[in-house]
A and B are shown apart, each in its own frame.
Chain A
Amino acid sequence: MSPMSVVTLARSEPRSGQITVIQPRRLPRVLGALATYVGMTLLAVMFLVPLLFEFIGSIKPNDRVLSEGNSWRAFIPTAITFVNYGDALARADLAHLFINSMIITSSIVVAGIVVNSLFGYALARMTFRGRGLLIGVVIALIIIPFQAIAVPLFFMMAKIEVLDTYQVQIVPFIASPFFTYLFYTFFLSIPKELEEAARVDGAGPLTIFWRVVVPLARPVYATVAILSFLFAWGELLWPVLVTRGPEVRPLPLGIAVFQTLPPVQWGDIMAFATVMTLPLLVVFLAFQDAFVRSVARTGIKG
């Protein structure tokens, strides 16, 4: 629907019942804003309750997490202790799991950015046989969800005996048709003149890419870095399939396993949860706009 037809649609509305009052109506407006704030605050409380419960629970003695869990005291640090963090470190081997997740996630993010942006650049800017076909294939591949290939991929990885390694959790997630497509569309949108000028100056393709294109394309690099970090950091299905012992286990599977191990200490579990949540939340608060823009950008796909 074109913008024009929307306006026409709005115009064609029957006006008979409408009374146009353009007089200043101060009081209702103030009341309206007040109601909005009250509504937004109530909603905000609903969104914050689980997170607050998690943080407060992590600094309370274990028995209090349970005994005070069903009252408002669940959100008051009635007794403060950091013993839970020590216990989670010791009992869940939290530091080790954290390092595992960092290795896996950062490898996927860094390698993925390089591989997918190079491919996206070739598709957007270079002429070669099969380019059109490749673009079509990349777009078609976006539809295949990872879950649809997880079982045969697990079989392949078992056959080449790479289960229980870092590689098996990294390499399959590097190349991504969706991220390639994001890079491709972004590169199409930046003007070619700068690249051409660099070429005239005698720069090679890699130099042009690194010196001219990458700096211009910072927003899409940030988007892909943020999204691939969020996806990789939270991945649970794949480690369920390909890791058995705790050696290369990442955090999401770690917390799933930890809460089933007796004795179940909810304070320790909340400390574990906080260690997984807080770094991400801090990074999010620091780069809020980039996060929000990145997620909004996934909507461009349609």
Chain B
Amino acid sequence: MISSPTKNLKTRVGQDSLVPWLFSLPAILMLLAFLVAPFVLAIVFSFTNLRLLSPIPLRFVGLQNYVRVFQDPIFYRALGNNLLFVVIVVPVQTALALALAVLVNQKLRGVRVFRTIYFAPVVTVMAVAATVWRLLYDPDAGFINGLLGAVSGGAVHPNWLRSTSTAFLAIIIMSIWQGVGFQMVILLAGLQDIPHDHYEAAIVDGASGWQQFRFVTIPQLRNQLLFVVTITTILAFRLFDQVYVMTSGGPLDSTQTLMLMLVDVGFGRQRIAQGSAIAVIFFLIVLSISVAQRRLIREETT
């Protein structure tokens, strides 16, 4: 019964073979022009001496751009910061998001209000959040030091964004504030998909609250957790907006990131070729993270 209309539909549409292409062509052309072409160009450019405006004739320079990038101390500062962001934000933010998701998944009155509040930072634009936090972090006029001072009797007084030792930490804290609601929602959707009888079976067997969480919730959330960890890791390497607004990479390059370096080299100094090399390196990092995630998911399903 189902198969005959399906077949009918397909043959009918297949006959006027122009229609599928009319539906597809706008997207295909734009994807080719604005995604595939610049992606291929990024690879090609990265082996040339291309600049935005240059009297020097274009030629291939082999791996020279990559060598330059790998010899640049700022590259290691940037990459180190991106990795530090991964190492701190991925576990902390995921754990916090899971805790929030479990909290707002309870059948308690008014729980929706809390879900709304935890999610609200996600709908604030990152550039705006970074602006507000810049003032919150002000060593003298900011609320954060006001609170720390009141609690510690004036003993704790970090310079936050103005100090090389705390600037990146400050960016990490505000990034978690802004991003955790996003993960919470994804994990919450996963929590709500767990069949209730799993918990009932565990309760019958006398599993404690923690054991239910450890042996029912966590395994059932595996794919959502994997997704959240992957997307957060990728976002960590894309880190740009909040750093651009709050510190522009300073003080003394202590908050440099790959994306700031990309913009500085490719746009600020107009070295298209070297910027493209950074873009290719960035892409390879993202690609390997995605491949690792897909492997892990496939492992689970087989």
Contacts and interface: CB of A to CB of B under 8 A. Distances in A.
Interface string B110-154: 010011111111111111110111111010111101100100000
Contact of A256 (B26, B238, B244, B278): B244
Interface stretch (A41-49, A76-84, A85-93, A216-224): A41-49
Which of A33, A153, A280 has most B Cβ within 10 Å? A153
A186 interface: no
Given A6-B216, A70-B142, A259-B131, A237 B39 contact: no
A127 interface: yes
Nearest to A288: B116
Contacts of A7: 198, 201-202
Interface in B1-38: 5-6, 8-10, 12-14, 16-17, 19-21, 23-24, 26-28, 30-31, 34-38
A211 to B, nearest CB: 15
Interface string B253-297: 000000100110011000010011011101100110010010001
A122 B5 contact: no
Nearest to A295: B185
A276 B14 contact: no
B141 to A, nearest CB: 4
A281 B41 contact: no
A48 B23 CA distance: 45
B241 A196 contact: no
Contact of A295 (B36, B118, B122, B245): B122
Given A144-B35, A156-B38, A10 B127 contact: no
Nearest to B275: A151
Contact of B186 (A236, A256, A295): A295
B78 interface: no
Interface in B199-256: 201-202, 205-208, 211-212, 215-216, 219-220, 222-224, 226-228, 230-231, 234, 238, 240-241, 244-245
Interface residues of B, number: 122
Interface stretch (B86-94, B164-172, B188-196): B188-196
A273 interface: yes
A39 B118 CA distance: 13
A195 B123 CA distance: 37
Contact of A118 (B23, B190, B240, B267): B23
B14 A128 contact: yes
Contacts of B125: 233-234, 251-252, 276-277, 280
Contacts of B67: none
Interface size class of A (residues with CB under 8 A): 35 or more
Nearest to A285: B116
Contacts of A152: 38-39, 41-42, 45, 272, 276, 279
Contacts of B21: 122, 128
Most chain B C-beta atoms within 10 Å of own C-beta, residue among A199, A259, A291, A299: A299
Interface string A61-80: 00001110111001000000
Nearest to A289: B112
13 contacts: A1-B222, A13-B205, A13-B207, A70-B145, A70-B146, A116-B27, A125-B13, A149-B34, A252-B125, A252-B126, A255-B127, A255-B245, A273-B131
Interface of B: 5-6, 8-10, 12-14, 16-17, 19-21, 23-24, 26-28, 30-31, 34-39, 41-42, 45, 50, 52, 100, 103-104, 106, 108, 111, 114-129, 131-136, 138, 140-143, 145-146, 149, 177, 181-182, 185-186, 188-190, 195, 198, 201-202, 205-208, 211-212, 215-216, 219-220, 222-224, 226-228, 230-231, 234, 238, 240-241, 244-245, 259, 262-263, 266-267, 272, 275-276, 278-280, 282-283, 286-287, 290, 293, 297, 300
Given A50-B129, A69-B146, A126-B10, 17 more contacts: A15-B205, A18-B208, A43-B103, A47-B177, A53-B136, A69-B141, A116-B27, A134-B24, A143-B287, A144-B283, A148-B282, A150-B279, A155-B50, A155-B52, A196-B6, A205-B23, A292-B185
